[in-house]
Structure 1
Amino acid sequence: MMTSLFSIFEPSSSIFSLSINWLSTFVGLLFIPYLYWAAPSRWALVWSKIMQLLHNEFQAILGQATKGSTILFISLFSFIMFNNTLGLLPYVFTSSSHLAMTLTLALPLWLTFILFGWINHTQHMLAHMVPQGTPGLLMPFMVLVETLSNIIRPGTLAVRLAANMIAGHLLLTLLGNMGPSLSLTLVSFLMLAQILLLMLESAVAMIQSYVFAVLSTLYASEVN
């Protein structure tokens, strides 16, 4: 039962032994050309407004010293949101529900921030290991705690995104499998529950992409 349930998340579709499910990761690129029309559409104006709001917020976190770097985190937010929302469509593979993708996004970012901080701001990174006012006896313990918290950051980023995406999909699948065994009246309530849950999943898809981008921005701000 559990094997067949989780099999819906496996990249099993293939042509000539080449997995094609992961191609859904790049479907979001099809939306980009609409931003460059001569006459901006309403979608382009809304998206530009969202990008401006994100730029202002990321700039406030990073500070003026890293001006221009917000495009990295805006692109990260856009990429994850496209994959999360497109994964809600029928027969579209949700790549963001796999640790293979989420960890690929989180680990290089975290490793880059850590290397940049230790190479360019060594004293600041060492001072960050011990919070101000820590008693001398607790300093070794605090260094150990801070080190562990830094090491698990890419894992928590990846697991948070993948777990939130896969949980909603599992619930939708479980409720959908109950349909054939229910009466017509209960099926009506089931459809209503599915619609409400799909609305919730749409909000979760956008919120999780925002959380991933904001946490990445906070981690980057700590090494400056």
Structure 2
Amino acid sequence: MMTSLFSIFEPSSSIMSLSLNWASTFLGLLFIPYLYWISPSRWSLSWSKLINTLHLEFKTLLGPSHVGSTIIFVSLFSLIVFNNFLGLLPYVFTSTSHLVMTLSLSLPLWLTFMIFGWINHTQHMFAHLVPQGTPPALMPFMVLIETLSNLIRPGTLAVRLAANMIAGHLLLTLLSGTGPSLSTTLVSFLLLTQILLLLLESAVAIIQSYVFAVLSTLYAGEIN
């Protein structure tokens, strides 16, 4: 019986109907103790420098009215980048390639932003529905368009991350499946291609984590 091509991304290990694959989401916690050694390592110094850079950038995007909120988005970036990189290892389940995981990150954030904004800054939220300089005749249409674009924000965040992660993994899987039927020369080219794709996926893992965190920060910065 032929299974779906995307079945390789489905959880398969379970105990009493409880999936064990999602436990890989918490493997990133294993890296945290390395940051607390008395003698700092190159890894801890590099990670601290990256976190400080992100903190300064998110602080600029959020503005002075959201003091202390950068820790949420830095933690979000850390969680996603750890899961993206761990998913590149063999036999490790990539939780960020599933909409269940990505929607669980984007939907609560967006929902809390909306609730906070409409309760505390109602006039400002209404003003966002009509961009400055819009002709009066187009205002009803702009309200509809802005409302729709606002409603689909958590979905676009989730789909962007999941689609980018699953696309590279799927390409690696398809190429590796052709290995047994190729000659020795072609297998050498295949290995080189796989290595280059793995480097590309490493870059995508960082870029998509950064994009997810920055867009979440921008959505939060709009609520003032």
Given the two structures, how large is their TM-score scaled by the length of structure 2? 0.98
CA distances 1:104-136 after superposition (whole Å, capped 9, x unpaired):
100000000011110000000011110111111
User: Any residues of structure 2 matched to 1:32-51 within 5 Å, and which?
Assistant: 32-51=32-51
**What is the CA–CA distance in structure 2 between the aligned matches of 1:44 and 1:169, rounded to whole Å?**
29
> In the alignment, what sits opposite 1:24?
24
2:3 partner SS: helix
Task: Kindly provide the amino acid, as one letter, of the partner of residue 179 in structure 1.
Answer: G
> In the alignment, what sits opposite 1:52?
52
Residue 119 (1) aligns with residue 119 (2): yes
**What is the CA–CA distance in structure 2 between the aligned matches of 1:28 and 1:169, rounded to whole Å?**
20
The total of aligned residue pairs comes to 224
Structure 1 residues 51 and 2: CA distance shift in structure 2, 3 A: farther
1:38 partner SS: coil
**What is the CA–CA distance in structure 1 between the aligned matches of 2:65 and 2:103, rounded to whole Å?**
28
Residue 177 (1) aligns with residue 177 (2): yes
> In the alignment, what sits opposite 1:93?
93
**What is the CA–CA distance in structure 1 between the aligned matches of 2:35 and 2:213, rounded to whole Å?**
22
Task: Kindly provide the amino acid, as one letter, of the partner of residue 10 in structure 1.
Answer: E
> In the alignment, what sits opposite 1:198?
198
1:3 partner SS: coil
Identical aligned pairs, as a percentage? 79
Deviation of 1:17 after TM superposition, in Å, equals 2.8
CA distances 1:113-167 after superposition (whole Å, capped 9, x unpaired):
0111100000000111101111111100000000000000000000000000000
**What is the CA–CA distance in structure 1 between the aligned matches of 2:64 and 2:40, rounded to whole Å?**
30
**What is the CA–CA distance in structure 2 between the aligned matches of 1:19 and 1:217, rounded to whole Å?**
32
Task: Kindly provide the amino acid, as one letter, of the partner of residue 119 in structure 1.
Answer: I
**What is the CA–CA distance in structure 1 between the aligned matches of 2:52 and 2:207, rounded to whole Å?**
17
Deviation of 1:4 after TM superposition, in Å, equals 4.0
1:11 partner SS: coil
Deviation of 1:5 after TM superposition, in Å, equals 2.1
**What is the CA–CA distance in structure 2 between the aligned matches of 1:60 and 1:105, rounded to whole Å?**
22
- Deviating runs (4+, > 4 A) in structure 1? none
Q: CA RMSD in A?
A: 1.1
> In the alignment, what sits opposite 1:148?
148
Task: Kindly provide the amino acid, as one letter, of the partner of residue 136 in structure 2.
Answer: G
Deviation of 1:205 after TM superposition, in Å, equals 0.4
> In the alignment, what sits opposite 2:12?
12
> In the alignment, what sits opposite 2:63?
63
